[in-house]
Homo-oligomer: A and B are copies of this chain.
């Protein structure tokens, strides 16, 4: 069971922006850091812009920044918006479903309950909750740049 890479990159982009609120971040920064495709990341950032979570500052020294406070960004709502679907088995997809058991089967109902339990945990968390503790005892966040994938 996996979340889509779109959700994964969305979460990591927001985490990076939340951990670097003192400056503008470029897509290239994030692509280099995670060794992921800049092209794929552009779709993620475009969607984050549309949903009002990230804003872009244009110009030579431009870049991205969070448009909301991390505590205002709910992880459950975010994952619901970035996952294409929660089709846990073929019977969730009416167009693809060929299973003759579907009308009476209780599997779909059970998988729906399980998915709701998964999302309920995420609903209790915000982006702020994901960040490292900032108390005097906590270690600083270390952001090291990896070799870029050109």
Contact = CB atoms under 8 A, between A and B. Distances in A.
A115 to B, nearest CB: 7
Given A1-B2, A8-B90, A146-B98, A121 B129 contact: no
Nearest to A142: B100
User: Interface residue tally of chain A, by bracket?
Assistant: 35 or more
A110 B15 CA distance: 14
A130 B110 contact: yes
A33 interface: yes
Interface in A1-39: 1-5, 7-8, 11-12, 15-16, 19, 33-35
A73 interface: no
A47 to B, nearest CB: 17
A2 B130 CA distance: 24
B130 A121 contact: no
A19 B105 CA distance: 10
Interface in A75-111: 75, 79, 83, 85-90, 98-101, 103-107, 110-111
Interface of A: 1-5, 7-8, 11-12, 15-16, 19, 33-35, 75, 79, 83, 85-90, 98-101, 103-107, 110-111, 113-115, 117-122, 125, 129-132, 138-139, 141-144, 146
